[in-house]
């Protein structure tokens, strides 16, 4: 997948910071030109963009993709019951083969619903990296470290991350980047958190961590340390522009100031926060305070799919009802969260249809009843579209799906392999 190529998306509705009718020329892995006069340009591949909205590929800022194998496990349970009785016993049985099968299934699902990049934290991450390389997607991948305050475990977890950095960072033509990923303040010692940050700084990597997901974890930490989670993390030097925080549901106004000052990015995961009854994140406050927020799906068993279109709609709707103000989180702000804010969070030159950006592009079919009429393409994308309206997906200048047919993944085989793998858990 390294040959030089060009793709012309002809006569389409381009939705990015503005909405224009025109064509997009991709050369190699970049957007070369956007114009209303590109129709006669030569290109190796020409895609008819009529009746389609051409927009940036969606960026899922928080996932555990191999958990697709656990779809439907432990619905409607308390978080602790869910973890102790349903999730952890099954995760204990994971191995390379199963994570590979679950990752491939996730990538089929993500591509089919318009996601071109995701930020993942899980186990056996070399397998997920292999699946990313094969699928043609882009990903930031971190091995989820949990030391449970044990020194031996701390060393082995850090070692696992170092091995993963050495083997996979900046591979697959740069499509795979590695992050350092300590799981959370309540599962990680202060020592491993500090070592994680050191490791991230040494290699100039992002750091991905769960913070302030549940009220309980915040209360526990405050009791123990007399600090709120973000105060604690700030005091040990963990927070800066390379930090990606999943959740941030119970953030206080004081913590908000820290996050802004340190330029931390947040991944908001509305389905997961609602399904596990974690709470409603103050997304509107984050945005008003100038804090960068992306959107994530979290793992499939707390969602139960990887459809970023559902998450976008949910993000907007949840903030409106939570503030009792229908004007908050308008369509454009929500769109930005799932595209360019995600790109900023993950440190990648994408998320916009703009000359010089990476060619991570999707085409969404509007020629269906639920997208008719198209008075405002942005409105239809945020409030009317379903993930399955995605017709064509381009990532890093390569076509991963065309006319709803996956080009880099054998869908039938991936589904059948995943069914077999899930049966082992």
Which residues inside 325-364 make contact with a copy of itself, applying CB under 8 A? 325-327, 329-331
Q: Please give the helix or strand (H or E) that residue 235 lies within, else none.
A: helix 229-235
Distance CA 15, CA 34 (A): 12
All residues at 6 or more sequence positions from 288 whose CB lies less than 8 Å from its CB, including other chains: none
Comparison of 296 and 397: residue with beta carbon closer to a copy of itself: 296
Binding status of residue 40 toward a copy of itself by CB under 8 A: no
Comparison of 112 and 340: residue with beta carbon closer to a copy of itself: 112
**Binding region for a copy of itself (CB under 8 A) out of 38-46, 155-163, 255-263, 410-418:** 410-418
Distance CA 209, CA 245 (A): 5
CB of 159 to a copy of itself, least distance (A): 33
Comparison of 208 and 313: residue with beta carbon closer to a copy of itself: 313
Comparison of 28 and 285: residue with beta carbon closer to a copy of itself: 285
In this structure, the number of other CB atoms found within 10 A of the CB of residue 221 comes to 20
From the list 295, 318, 359, 400, which residue makes contact with a copy of itself (rule: CB under 8 A)?
Answer: 318
Distance CA 28, CA 7 (A): 9
CB of 271 to a copy of itself, least distance (A): 6
Question: Binding residues for a copy of itself, how many (CB under 8 A)?
Answer: 74
Distance CA 71, CA 410 (A): 20
All residues at 6 or more sequence positions from 343 whose CB lies less than 8 Å from its CB, including other chains: 56, 59, 117, 349, 350, 351, 352
CB of 289 to a copy of itself, least distance (A): 20
Comparison of 178 and 337: residue with beta carbon closer to a copy of itself: 337
- Write the secondary structure of 298-352 as one string of H (helix), E (strand) and C (coil): CCHHHCCCCCHHHHHHHHHHHHHHHHCCCCCCCHHHHHHHHHHHHHHHHCCCCCC
**What residues between 288 and 307 interact with a copy of itself by CB under 8 A?**
300, 303-307
Q: Are 119 and 61 in contact (CB under 8 A)?
A: yes
Comparison of 109 and 120: residue with beta carbon closer to a copy of itself: 109
The 365-404 contact track toward a copy of itself, x by CB under 8 A, reads --xxxx-xxxxx--xx-xxx-xxxx---------------
Binding status of residue 93 toward a copy of itself by CB under 8 A: no
Distance CA 402, CA 244 (A): 32
From the list 97, 274, 402, 407, which residue makes contact with a copy of itself (rule: CB under 8 A)?
Answer: 274
**Binding region for a copy of itself (CB under 8 A) out of 65-73, 203-211, 217-225, 236-244:** 65-73
**What residues between 152 and 211 interact with a copy of itself by CB under 8 A?**
none
Comparison of 137 and 158: residue with beta carbon closer to a copy of itself: 137
Distance CA 350, CA 59 (A): 9
Comparison of 319 and 350: residue with beta carbon closer to a copy of itself: 319
Binding status of residue 276 toward a copy of itself by CB under 8 A: yes
β-strand pairing of 115-122 with 58-63: parallel
Angle in degrees, CA 52, 174, 117, rounded to 5: 40
From the list 8, 38, 66, 69, which residue makes contact with a copy of itself (rule: CB under 8 A)?
Answer: 69
Q: Are 144 and 180 in contact (CB under 8 A)?
A: no
CB of 279 to a copy of itself, least distance (A): 7
CB of 122 to a copy of itself, least distance (A): 18
Q: Are 161 and 181 in contact (CB under 8 A)?
A: yes
């Amino acid at each position: 997948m390294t040959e030089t190529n060009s793709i012309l998306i002809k006569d389409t509705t381009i939705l990015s910071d503005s909405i224009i009718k025109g064509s997009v020329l991709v050369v190699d892995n970049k957007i070369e030109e956007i114009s209303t006069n590109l129709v006669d340009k030569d290109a190796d591949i020409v895609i008819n963009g009529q009746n389609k909205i051409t927009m940036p590929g969606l960026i899922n800022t928080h996932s555990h993709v191999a958990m697709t194998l656990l779809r439907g496990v432990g619905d409607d349970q308390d978080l602790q019951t869910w973890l102790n009785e349903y999730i952890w016993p099954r995760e204990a049985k994971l191995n390379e083969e199963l994570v590979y099968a679950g990752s491939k299934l996730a990538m089929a699902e993500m591509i089919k619903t318009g996601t071109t990049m995701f930020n993942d934290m899980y186990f056996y991450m070399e397998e997920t990296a292999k699946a990313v390389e094969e699928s043609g997607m882009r990903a930031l991948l971190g091995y989820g470290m949990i030391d449970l305050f044990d020194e031996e475990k701390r060393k082995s977890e850090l070692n696992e991350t170092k091995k993963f950095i050495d083997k996979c960072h900046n591979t697959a033509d740069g499509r795979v980047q590695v992050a350092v990923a300590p799981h959370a303040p309540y599962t990680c010692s202060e020592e491993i958190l500090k070592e994680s940050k050191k490791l991230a700084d040494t290699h100039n990597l992002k750091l991905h961590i769960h913070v302030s997901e549940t009220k309980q974890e915040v209360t526990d930490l405050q009791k123990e340390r007399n600090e709120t989670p973000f105060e604690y993390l700030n005091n040990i030097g963990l927070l800066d522009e390379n930090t990606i925080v999943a959740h941030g549901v119970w953030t206080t106004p004081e913590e908000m100031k820290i996050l802004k000052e340190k330029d931390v990015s947040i991944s908001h995961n509305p389905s997961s926060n609602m399904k596990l009854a974690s709470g409603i994140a103050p997304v509107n406050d984050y945005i008003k305070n100038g804090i960068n927020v992306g959107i994530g799906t979290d793992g499939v068993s707390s969602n139960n799919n990887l459809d970023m279109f559902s998450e976008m709609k949910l993000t907007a709707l949840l903030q409106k009802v939570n503030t009792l103000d229908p004007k908050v989180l308008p369509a454009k702000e929500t769109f930005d969260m799932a595209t360019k804010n995600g790109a900023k969070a993950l440190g990648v030159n994408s998320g916009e249809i703009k000359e010089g950006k990476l060619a991570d592009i999707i085409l969404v079919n509007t020629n269906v009843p639920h997208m008719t009429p198209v008075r405002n393409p942005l409105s239809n994308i945020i409030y009317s579209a379903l993930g399955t309206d995605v017709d064509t997906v381009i990532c890093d200048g390569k076509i991963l799906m065309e006319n709803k047919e996956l080009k880099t993944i054998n869908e039938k085989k991936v589904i059948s392999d995943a069914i077999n793998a899930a049966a082992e858990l």
